Amino acid sequence: MACTKFLTLNNGEKMPVIGIGTWQASDEEIETAIDVALSAGYRHIDTAPVYGNEKAIGRVLKRWLDAGKVKREDLYIVTKLPPIANRPHEVEPTIKQSLADLQLDYVDMYLVHTPFTLFINPDGSFQFDDEGRVKVDKSTDHAAVWAEMEKLVENGLAKSIGVSNFSKEQVARLLKNCKIRPATNQIEHHVYLQQRDLVDFCKAENIAITAYSPLGSKGIAKFNAAAGVERDLPDLMDIPEVKQIAEAHKKTPAQVLLRWIIDTGVVAIPKSTNEARLKQNLDVFDFQLSTEEVAKLCALDKNIRICDFSFFRGVEQHPEFTFKNQFTN
Ligand code: A2P
């Protein structure tokens, strides 16, 4: 069953409302998962150089395209300008590297991954200060980066451009300085972090919202642990209201969480490398939440940010870092 529901972006392009998120998946896992996802009907794939799996995804895409099993125009591929390359002169070479890795001529959407910028060493590793904090490049200039992003649309390397992890204030600032408006802002968005102010602002500005961590991104625990961050994460699929609504519809809690996102006009990119769960996450179009159920889910908001970048200790020193995390609180 293919994802046949699309959101029309502010430039007329159509984005499938469900995509597969690929963060926290190894090369091996992701090659199998993308194969399974394409067979299941996914056409929207969300990746990034930061996830380290563009080459693996590229290999699967090439096999499918060469075999004529899918047409390029039916795929919707999203990738991102990483925080280590968030500088004007790095935009074009960085997308060209992603395109080479993905074995594509263009991407459907290219996003500025974060509003902040990090320094790396010549070998690609992060730079750290004496206290083990990641070194931030405070010279970030969103307008200058955006001008280079616009050129990608003009020269055909990206059909659409957008941002990710941008606050309302950052989006508003960009709008004052752009020729091409961002088509989407990809943000953490789920029942416990609804970000209504930001979502409503973007919608009013005709900027689509793409929800990452729609299921609560439990896998982030290992990043936090590796960085020495101790934090209990909520289990969105265990919330009584979500479970109760799922039972009423004979669906799973994950399907209810995804349906709620789609019903509020937002695109969702759940990550899974498991065949049954991948299929389940696409199987959300055969039931409808009632107005009362939507209201019940909207009332769950707790402003709990799961991906707060605590695993990048030091990032909070960047002037464009707007999230609260354990180092800013
Ligand atoms: P897995 O890859 O083993 O399926 P998010 O998309 O919010 O980042 O959440 C992804 C996490 O949720 C992953 O740990 C993923 O594990 C798990 N997951 C994905 N789909 C489902 C589902 N339908 N039911 C339960 N867990 C899921």
Of 163, 49, 74, 179, nearest to 110 by C-alpha is 163
Spell out the residues 6+ positions from residue 159 whose beta carbon is closer than 8 angstroms to its own: 11, 13, 106, 107, 108, 109, 153
Q: How far is the CA of 117 from the centre of ligand 1 (A)?
A: 29
Segment 82-91 shows an average pLDDT of 98
What sign does the dihedral 329-208-87-214 (CA atoms) show?
positive
Is pLDDT of 80 > 70?
yes
Please work out whether the CB of residue 215 comes within 6 Å of at least one atom of ligand 1.
Answer: yes
In the block, residue with structure tokens 């004496």? 130
> What's the CA gap between 99 and 101, in Å, rounded?
5
Q: Kindly list the structural domains of the chain, giving each domain's residue range(s) and its CATH number in brackets, ordered by start.
A: 7-317 (3.20.20.100)
Does the reported pTM lie above 0.95? yes
Mean pLDDT within 87-110: 98
From 193, 218, 252, 260, give the residue whose CB has the most ligand 1 atoms within 8 Å, as the site to mutate: 218
pLDDT of residue 1: 58
Cα-to-centroid distance, 21 and ligand 1 (Å): 10
Upper half-sphere CA count for residue 39 (Cβ side, 13 Å): 11
pLDDT digits (tens, 9 = 90+) for 267-318: 999 999 999 999 999 999 999 999 999 999 999 999 999 999 998 999 999 9
**Active-site amino acid positions:** 51
Q: For the chain, what percent of residues have pLDDT higher than 90?
A: 88
Contact 20, 34 (CB under 8 A): yes
The atom number, within ligand 1, closest to the CA of 273 reads 2
